């Protein structure tokens, strides 16, 4: 009885571990909704909450920080007519610099083939 129960319990634990693992992989940080108006309306300036979310959600907290997850979030944005392009894409790529976070990420990182402005 005990011998039969042990492998089943192990199997349940493995399944749970896989579910936790895939749940984390499926939920990378999303592009902050509070930054949408800045990206879609080029005449605006990024709002304070937008900038706080860019810094916090993507861990832009030291001069060597990576913009990789921020870049992935940009690529994950889907408008009614597809991914961000042109001016909207440039605005999104330049957002960390516009939010005055240049001291909080590494210079010269590329996203979608373009070097992200700013950095240190």
Ligand X SMILES: *[C@@H]1O[C@H](CO)[C@@H](O)[C@H](O)[C@H]1NC(C)=O
CB of 53 to ligand X, least distance (A): 19
Residues that bind ligand X (rule: CB under 6 A) add up to a total of 8
Distances (CA, A) of 4 to 7, 17, 24, 74: 6, 21, 32, 49
Q: Is 75 in the site for ligand X (CB under 6 A)?
A: yes
112: contact with ligand X by CB under 6 A: yes
Shortest distance, position 76 Cβ to ligand X, whole Å: 8
Nearer to ligand X, 48 or 110 (CB): 110
What is the 3-state secondary structure of 23-83? HHHHCCCCCCHHHHHHHHCCCCCCCHHHHHHHHHHCCCCCCCCCCHHHHHHHHHCEECCEE
Please report whether residue 89 would count as binding ligand X according to CB under 6 A: yes
- Name the minimum Å distance from CB 54 to ligand X: 16
Q: Which three-class secondary structure state does DSSP give residue 119?
A: coil
Footprint on this chain of ligand X (rule: CB under 6 A): 74-75, 83-85, 89, 112-113
């Amino acid at each position: 009885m005990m011998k039969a129960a042990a492998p089943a319990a192990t199997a349940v634990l493995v399944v749970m571990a896989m579910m936790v693992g895939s749940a984390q992989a499926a939920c990378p940080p999303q592009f902050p909704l509070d930054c949408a108006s800045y990206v879609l309306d080029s005449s605006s300036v990024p709002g304070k909450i937008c900038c706080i979310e860019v810094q916090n959600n993507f861990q832009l907290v030291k001069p060597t920080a990576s913009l990789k997850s921020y870049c992935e979030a940009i690529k994950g944005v889907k408008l009614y007519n597809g991914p961000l392009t042109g001016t909207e894409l440039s605005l999104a790529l330049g957002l960390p610099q516009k939010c005055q976070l240049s001291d909080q990420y590494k210079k010269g990182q590329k996203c979608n083939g373009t070097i992200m402005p700013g950095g240190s």
